[in-house]
């Protein structure tokens, strides 16, 4: 193992330690504030509801500590011990070439999914079920896992063949072609996902409430938003959580409400939630996030141009030169970097949420939005008292108390 490999391993250990530290901060802060409802919510959240949310968040955070330590340990085991046996096992049955490189990556993906499966199962049927969120059956869980795995195989196999073929044909400039292909794929997925992928996992039907549909369509016209319709997703098959989103672009945009959201919120709250989502459209947040993703991806592919070379990461870890192994090593090595950058990368997302909230306020007023946020927080057992530094790393949205304070203070 070279000094570079040692640095990567130490970075994984330090990143894991940082994650544990941040979660311990969250545990301490939530526990300290679990016996009193914040003053701004005293009229909307009972002490019993606040304590139950604290109990859920404390248990969820402890669970995530175990998961984070496990993930860090598995990353080290792959890099130090497991990649060589994986290479030898695949190499014993597949000759050198593109197919072997692809098979190594796919085998790694399958093994990683199997290692993660017990945590996903425990989270669904122990943690989420304990607090009344889970509505999925065990057979349904495994069917979803199988569907997701097959979809990943169908999508990733041609992409990997394409990337390794380009690497073989243009070893110096391949990463530029791969980056361009990634951007095309990312844009294509925005259009493909709502029509072909999402229906594999959920059923979507037109919003049946005529009065509600007319009300929301008036808001759409007011905002100049064109879409292919308002849809309801059968989210209640798996969870009692509520949400809404819009997906796609151009005339293929769809607005989707979870059926759980529609049954719990007033018409005014639903309108405010839609107004918030339309704020993302109004301010071009999807395009901005695509641009940010493209910038990060460009830097990532530039790093891969070295990592996948004969003097790259396989050499650093004393592995045989094999592009598939190098890609796996790069994938594992990126986690500490992304962890450190997460506050910066999430800053734009949190700012976008404030902008969308302000837009919703301008369209329907602040009270429906505040009421909707409060109800979502209460129903989803989100903590009203997160640790500030923890939230900085792991919250893509500002904490709800901060959002509500902003709504009340924004002009």
276 is in an annotated binding site: yes
> Among residues 28, 45, 29, which one has the least CA distance to residue 37?
45
Q: Which of 269, 271, 277, 387 is catalytic?
A: 277
Residue owning tokens 């302000």: 358
Q: Phi/psi of residue 245, each to 5°?
A: -160, 165
Report helix, strand and coil shares of the chain as percent, to nearest 5: 75, 5, 20
Alpha-carbon span 21 to 51, nearest angstrom: 23
40 catalytic? Reply is: no
User: Is 357 in the active site?
Assistant: yes
Start-to-end CA span in the chain (Å): 58
- Please check whether residue 314 is in contact with residue 321, taking contact to mean a CB–CB distance below 8 angstroms: yes
Q: How far, in Å, CA of 213 to CA of 257, rounded?
A: 12
How far is residue 318's CA from residue 2's CA, in Å, rounded to a whole number?
8
Kindly give the pairing relationship between strand 230-233 and strand 244-247. unpaired
Catalytic-role residue among 322, 357, 358, 387 = 357
Query: How far apart, in whole angstroms, are the C-alpha atoms of residue 165 and residue 157?
Result: 12
Helix (H) or strand (E) holding 392: helix 388-394
**Residue 200 near residue 147, CB atoms below 8 Å:** yes
Q: Is 353 annotated as a binding residue?
A: yes
What torsion, rounded to 10 degrees, do the Cα atoms 143, 147, 152, 154 define?
140
Alpha-carbon distance 367 to 357, whole Å? Answer: 11
Q: How far apart are CA 332 and CA 162, in angstroms?
A: 21
Calpha distance 98→323 (Å, rounded): 9
397 marked ligand binding residue? no
Distance of alpha carbon 31 from alpha carbon 45, whole angstroms: 17
Residues belonging to the binding site are: 276, 280, 353
Residues noted as catalytic: 277, 357
Residues belonging to the binding site for Zn(2+) are: 276, 280, 353
């Amino acid at each position: 193992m070279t000094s570079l490999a040692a640095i990567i391993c130490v970075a994984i250990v330090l990143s894991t330690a940082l994650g544990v530290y941040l979660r311990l901060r969250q545990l301490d802060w939530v526990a300290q504030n679990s016996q009193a409802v914040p003053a701004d919510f005293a009229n909307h959240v009972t002490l019993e509801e606040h304590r139950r949310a604290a109990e859920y968040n404390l248990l969820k955070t402890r669970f995530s500590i175990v998961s984070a330590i496990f993930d860090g340990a598995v990353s080290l085991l792959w890099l130090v011990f497991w990649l060589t046996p994986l290479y030898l096992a695949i190499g014993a049955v597949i000759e050198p070439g593109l197919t072997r490189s692809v098979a190594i990556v796919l085998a790694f993906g399958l093994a990683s999914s199997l290692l993660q499966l017990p945590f996903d199962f425990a989270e669904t049927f122990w943690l989420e079920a304990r607090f009344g969120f889970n509505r999925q059956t065990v057979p349904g869980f495994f069917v979803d896992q199988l569907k997701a795995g097959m979809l990943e195989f169908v999508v990733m196999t041609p992409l990997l063949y394409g990337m390794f073929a380009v690497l073989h044909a243009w070893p110096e400039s391949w990463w530029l072609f791969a980056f361009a292909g990634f951007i095309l794929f990312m844009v294509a997925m925005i259009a493909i996902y709502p029509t072909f992928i999402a229906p594999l996992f959920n059923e979507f039907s037109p919003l049946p409430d005529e009065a509600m549909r007319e009300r929301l369509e008036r808001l759409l016209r007011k905002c100049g938003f064109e879409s292919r319709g308002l849809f309801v997703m059968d989210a209640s098959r798996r969870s009692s959580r509520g949400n809404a989103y819009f997906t796609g672009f151009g005339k293929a945009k769809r607005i989707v409400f979870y059926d759980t959201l529609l049954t719990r919120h007033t018409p005014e709250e639903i309108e405010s939630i839609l107004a918030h989502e339309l704020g993302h459209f109004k301010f071009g947040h999807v395009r901005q996030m695509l641009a940010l993703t493209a910038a990060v991806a460009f830097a990532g592919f530039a790093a891969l141009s070295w990592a996948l070379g004969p003097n790259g990461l396989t050499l650093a870890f004393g592995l045989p030169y094999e592009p598939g192994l190098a890609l796996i090593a790069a994938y594992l090595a990126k986690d500490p970097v992304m962890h450190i950058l997460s506050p910066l990368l999430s800053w734009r997302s949190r700012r976008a949420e404030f902008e969308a909230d302000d837009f919703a306020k301008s369209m329907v007023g602040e009270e429906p939005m505040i009421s909707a946020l409060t109800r979502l927080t209460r129903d989803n057992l989100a903590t009203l008292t997160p640790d500030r530094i923890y939230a900085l790393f792991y919250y893509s949205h500002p904490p709800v108390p901060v959002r509500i304070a902003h709504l009340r203070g924004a002009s």
